[in-house]
Every structure is written in C-alpha cells, then in structure tokens.
Structure 1
Amino acid sequence: MNYHKKSLKQKGIGLVSLLMWSVVLVLIAITSLRIVPAYLEYSSIKKNLTAVARDTSLQNMNLNQIRLAFSRRAQIDDIKSITSQDIRINKENGEIVLSVDYTTKIPLFFNISLNIDFQAKSN
C-alpha cells in the first residue's frame, strides 16, 4: 500500500489564544454586571417620574407634596441615586413635568471607575 503523506495543518484555536479570549470575555461580563444595575435604576426613576407627573390627584398640589409623592415611590423601588430634592418640577402646557440629571460612579476594578450621566424626564 502506498500512503501519501499529506501535510497536516492544524486548525482551531491555541491554548494562549483561548486564555486571552477568556480574559477578555470575563472583563466584559464583569463590566456588564456592574453597569446593568445603574440602567435598571435609571429605568425605575424614569417610570416613577412619569407616574407622579400623570397622577391627577397631584395636579393642583404644591411642590412639597409632589416631592413627597415621588419620595414614597422611590422608597418602594429602592432608588438611592437621587432624592426628591434633586427633581426639577415645571409646568408645560398645563401639565406637570418632572426631570432630573444625575451622575452615577461605578467602580470597575482597582482604581478604574466609570461615570455615567443620566437625564430622566417624565413624558
């Protein structure tokens, strides 16, 4: 029998490449796990601002009562990034509009952190 020698060329990923990609994926996963709660809290803040602004029983109330209504909702949803004093209250076209700007600092690892600026407004 005649066997022809074929040049066997390896295909696939090596151990060093696998380790490097694993480190990159772990860093992305850690960063994502730290960032997601900030965006969930932003979503909760926006939802509560909209709910307070649409509450018909608060349309003729003073600013302190509107802030108190938000504060109660924030306590239920465990909002810690802002307080009711951070909210700006305006009237546009006869409707109450609540808005807030805030920054969240997220420590990633070692001395590296991420600052995210949020702007939430009731619709």
Structure 2
Amino acid sequence: MNYHKMSLKQKGIGLVSLLMWSVVLVLIVITSLRIAPAYIEYSAIKKNLSAIAKDTSLQNTNLNQIRLAFSRRAQIDDIKSISGQDIKISRENGRVILSVGYTEKIPLFSNVSLSIDFEAVSD
C-alpha cells in the first residue's frame, strides 16, 4: 500500500512542460545563430581599426590612404556593413584614432527583426 501512495507523489517534468521548454530553447538558439555573424563582423571591424591605427607607415599619410587601407582589409575579412568612407578619423597626441558607428538590422522570423547599434573605436 505504501508503494501506491509513493507513485502518486512522484514528481517530474510533464510532456507539456517539456515541449514548452523545448520551444523556448529552440527560439533562443535560432536567435543566437542569427545574431552571431553581426558580432563576428563587429569584432573584425574593431580588429582592423586597431591594426590600421597602430600601423606606423600610415601615421603621417592622408585620410584617403587610411580609408583605402581599411577597404583592403575589409575585402579580405568580408566586412560588408561599413566601408572606408564610413570611418571617422581624428588625430590625438600624434596618434591616429579611427572610429565608426553603424546599425545592423537582423531579421529573426516573419516580420520580426532585431536592430543592434555598434560603435567601434581603435585602441
């Protein structure tokens, strides 16, 4: 008789709960997979801006050569969100500072999309 009472008190996850959590998990994974390329591209942009700013051969050149250097690197790294013309170039204490701001619109599903604002500055 004790076995019968114990089986009524068993706890666990039900089928409906399992399905609901599965749907939530799948949505999170799909969203993450769609967002990841934007962050990978942002990382490449930031890396290239820092590399160009640290390049001593470009310290005393004109702005067009700096933009051209970024465009060459962007072509190699398959950067499509920005171009060399989008980069803001300033000089501070004899150093070149490169910065860029852009918005990435990522379609998630149906008519729902995610808009992410990125701001990259060379070190």
Q: What's the TM-score bracket when you normalise by the shorter of the two chains?
A: over 0.9
1:109 deviation in Å?
0.5
In the alignment, is residue 47 of structure 1 matched against residue 47 of structure 2?
yes
Q: Please state whether the residue corresponding to 1:12 is helix, strand or coil.
A: coil
Alignment: residue pair count: 121
Q: Which amino acid aligns with 2:11?
A: K
Taking only aligned residues, the RMSD between alpha carbons, in angstroms, comes to: 1.0
Give 1:92's aligned residue.
92
Q: Percent identity?
A: 75
- 1:58–1:5 Cα change, 3 Å: closer
State the Cα distance separating 1:10 from its structure 2 match: 2.3
Aligned-pair CA distance for 1:11: 1.4
What residue number does 1:116 align with? 116
Q: CA shift at 1:34, angstroms?
A: 0.5
Pairing of 1:1-123 with structure 2 (within 5 A): 4=2, 6-7=4-5, 8=7, 9-123=9-123
Amino acid at match of 1:101: G
* Deviation sequence 1:19-58 (CA, Å, 0-9, x none): 0000000000000000111001000000000001111001
SS in 1 for 2:28: helix
Mark the runs of 5 or more structure 1 residues left unpaired by the alignment: none
Task: State the 4+ residue runs in structure 1 displaced beyond 6 angstroms.
Answer: none
Q: Which amino acid aligns with 1:22?
A: S
**Higher-helix-fraction structure:** 2
**1:58-101: per-residue Cα shift (whole Å, max 9, x none)?**
11110100000000000000000001000000001110000000
TM-score when scaled to structure 2?
0.95
